Chain A
Amino acid sequence: MQVAFRYFVFLILIYLKQLNDYIDHTLLKATATKEDIIELCEEAKRFKFYSVCVNSSYVSMAKEQLKNSDVKVCSVIGFPLGAMTTKAKVYEAQNALKNGADEIDMVMNIGFLKSKDFDGVRNDIEGVKQKMPNNILKVILETCYLDESEIIKASELAIQSGADFIKTSTGFGPGGARIEDVKLMLELAESSPVKVKASGGIKDTNTALEYINLGVSRIGTSSGIAIISGTPPTSHY
Chain B
Amino acid sequence: MNIFKHIDYSLLKSTTTEREIIDFCHDAKDNQLNSVCVNSSYVALAKQLLNNTSVKICTVVGFPLGAMSTEAKVYEAQKAIKDGADEIDMVMNLGYLKSKNYVSVLKDITDVKLAIGTVPLKVVLEISELNKNEIIKACEICLDTNIDYIKTSSGFTKSGATLTCIKMIKKTVKNRIKIIASGGINSLETAKKYLETGAHRVDTSNLLKVEIDNLSHSYS
* Contacts known (A31-B129, A115-B19); A83 close to B39, Cβ less than 8 A: yes
Interface assignment of A79: CB less than 8 Å from any CB of chain B: yes
- Contact between chains at A88 and B19 (CB < 8 Å): no
* Contacts known (A83-B14, A85-B40, A145-B14); A32 close to B95, Cβ less than 8 A: yes
- Contact between chains at A34 and B69 (CB < 8 Å): no
The 8 Å CB contact of A81, one of B43, B63, B93, is B63
Interface assignment of B188: CB less than 8 Å from any CB of chain A: no
Tally of A-B residue pairs with Cβ under 8 A?
127
Chain B interface bracket (under 10, 10 to 19, 20 to 34, 35 or more) = 35 or more
* Contacts known (A86-B41, A88-B76); A81 close to B68, Cβ less than 8 A: no
- Contact between chains at B69 and A88 (CB < 8 Å): no
Interface assignment of B66: CB less than 8 Å from any CB of chain A: yes
Residues of B near A18 (CB, < 8 A) are none
Interface assignment of B101: CB less than 8 Å from any CB of chain A: yes
Interface assignment of B83: CB less than 8 Å from any CB of chain A: yes
Interface assignment of A117: CB less than 8 Å from any CB of chain B: yes
- Contact between chains at B68 and A92 (CB < 8 Å): yes
* Contacts known (A30-B95, A57-B67, A57-B95); A88 close to B40, Cβ less than 8 A: yes
Interface assignment of B126: CB less than 8 Å from any CB of chain A: yes
Residues of B near A172 (CB, < 8 A) are 156
A/B interface sample: 13 pairs, CB < 8 A:
A31-B98, A33-B98, A36-B95, A56-B69, A57-B68, A81-B63, A84-B76, A85-B40, A85-B80, A91-B76, A111-B18, A111-B41, A115-B17
